[in-house]
Amino acid sequence: MECKVLLLTFFIITSFNLSKAQMVPAMFLFGDSLVDVGNNNYLKLSIAKADLPYYGIDLPNQKANGRFTNGMNAADFLAEKLGLPTAPPYLFLVDESNENNNVSFLNGVNFASGGARIWGGKNHPLSQSIHLTQQLDYFSIVYKDLYKQLGSSGAKNHLSQSIFTFVIGSNDIFRYFESSDLQNKTTSLQYVDSMVLSIKAILKRLYGFAARKFVIAGIGSIGCCPARRRVTKNEECHEEINFWSDKYNKGLISMLQELKSVLKGINYSYFDTYKALFDLVQRPAAYGFVEVKAACCGLGTLNAEIFCLPIAEYCSNRSDYVFFDKVHPTEAAHRILVDRMFDGSLQYAFPMNVKQLIAI
Ligand SMILES: *[C@@H]1O[C@H](CO)[C@@H](O)[C@H](O)[C@H]1NC(C)=O
Ligand SMILES: *[C@@H]1O[C@H](CO)[C@@H](O)[C@H](O)[C@H]1NC(C)=O
Ligand SMILES: *[C@@H]1O[C@H](CO)[C@@H](O)[C@H](O)[C@H]1NC(C)=O
Ligand SMILES: *[C@@H]1O[C@H](CO)[C@@H](O)[C@H](O)[C@H]1NC(C)=O
């Protein structure tokens, strides 16, 4: 009994020392397939998974592991910049069949899920995802655990220095333009406004859990992905989808400015994914890319008629392509986006970049 208490105390003291030595004790990540590192593999019926070839083809073992790209994604690169291991998927950490899982939430957790929306209700089981509200519910379980491990002030201290990253929203926009029912019920403006309001409520909830440092990525110029170009004239970017993505981003930016004055002591970095991705699309050669319209892996027009599945065809040099499949960037594109996010100029990351945010 006494021994256990001692051990526990020892553990708490060492983890305190650890978090003091590190500039960022942990990163907690919320989002969609752009930053999913394997959560969806644990959703039993869902087919929204990257668990088959040729996903992961450029990983060391060439095996699909839940990342929706050819190699590593933004979650990995951002963790690397912060000097942290990639935060493990939440559903991996709590999976009971997983014998060697020593549940530790201390260095962060990844809640991101392919297909996730800000404004998600129930999906058909086959396209099940963990939507943002559910991701927050999972975080509240993690919070209780940290509170138990570190105590009240310990947990507060830990979390207030941690980074809370959001990469989400694209699926909300895609869904709106795919659903005539939604379009009949709400105008595009009402729709993007409710997306902003939902994410605002989520940020407030996290503030209640002691989160103080946020990294919020806007939606990319997703009208330029192969899946949307395929349905436009001359394979151009889909203007309407880009327009409403940008509109949402503008709402997000002003909401964040307002929130900063309401929630005492928060700091954030907004990342202009729209501009950063558009740069690659407009001036591919400047960034070492050759192909911006077609996906590397898929079938049909622009390789955008199916996802990257075992029956698909794929390109030999993935780093020539901005898009790996019909909606997801290649590892090469992810890497460039995270470089910008981490220490890009004010044009890309404001009011500060991630490097400046972690230095506070
Ligand atoms: C799990 O944690 C316990 C206690 O911290 C440790 O003794 C054990 O070696 C760990 N197991 C693995 C597989 O990491
Ligand atoms: C939406 O409205 C259009 C035009 O009024 C109509 O043709 C369509 O059936 C409606 N869609 C749904 C799902 O109600
Ligand atoms: C971070 O937020 C605090 C509290 O709102 C503010 O006083 C400080 O100036 C911010 N830091 C930077 C670098 O903007
Ligand atoms: C692959 O593409 C990159 C970027 O265009 C280029 O630097 C590299 O030489 C190519 N590699 C091969 C094997 O063609």
Which DSSP string do the residues of 286-315 spell out, in sequence order?
Answer: GGT-SBSSS-SEESSGGG-SS-S-TTSEE-
Task: Name the band, by pLDDT with cuts 50, 70 and 90, for residue 165.
Answer: very high
Residue 119: the pLDDT is 86
Task: Name the band, by pLDDT with cuts 50, 70 and 90, for residue 22.
Answer: low
Residues in the chain: 360
Strands laid side by side in the 267-271 sheet: 108-110, 27-31, 163-167, 213-217, 267-271, 349-350
Say what the pTM is: 0.91
Name the residue at shortest CA distance from atom 13 of ligand 3: 360
Calculate how far, in angstroms, residue 317's C-alpha sits from the geometric centre of ligand 4: 6
Distances (CA, A) of 137 to 130, 131, 132, 215: 10, 10, 9, 19
Calculate how far, in angstroms, residue 77's C-alpha sits from the geometric centre of ligand 4: 21
Residue 121: the pLDDT is 73
Residue 73 CA, distance from chain mean position: 9
**Is the confidence at residue 13, as pLDDT, over 90?**
no
Total domains in the chain come to: 1
Q: Which atom number of ligand 2 is nearest to the Cα of residue 179?
A: 13
CATH number, residue 207: 3.40.50.1110
Q: Measured between alpha carbons, how far is 222 from 333 in angstroms, rounded to an integer?
A: 14
Q: Measured between alpha carbons, how far is 124 from 144 in angstroms, rounded to an integer?
A: 31
Name the residue at shortest CA distance from atom 3 of ligand 1: 102
Judge whether 104 counts as a catalytic residue: no
Q: Which of 15, 19, 33, 46 is catalytic?
A: 33
**Is the confidence at residue 264, as pLDDT, over 50?**
yes
Q: Give the model confidence (pLDDT) of 184-229 as tens digits.
A: 999 999 999 999 999 999 999 999 999 999 999 999 999 999 999 9
Residue 126: the pLDDT is 75
Is 67 within 8 Å of 49 (Cβ atoms)?
A: no
Q: Which residue segment(s) compose the domain that 211 sits in? A: 2-358
**Is the confidence at residue 326, as pLDDT, over 50?**
yes
Rounded to 5°, the CA angle 32-252-264 comes to 105
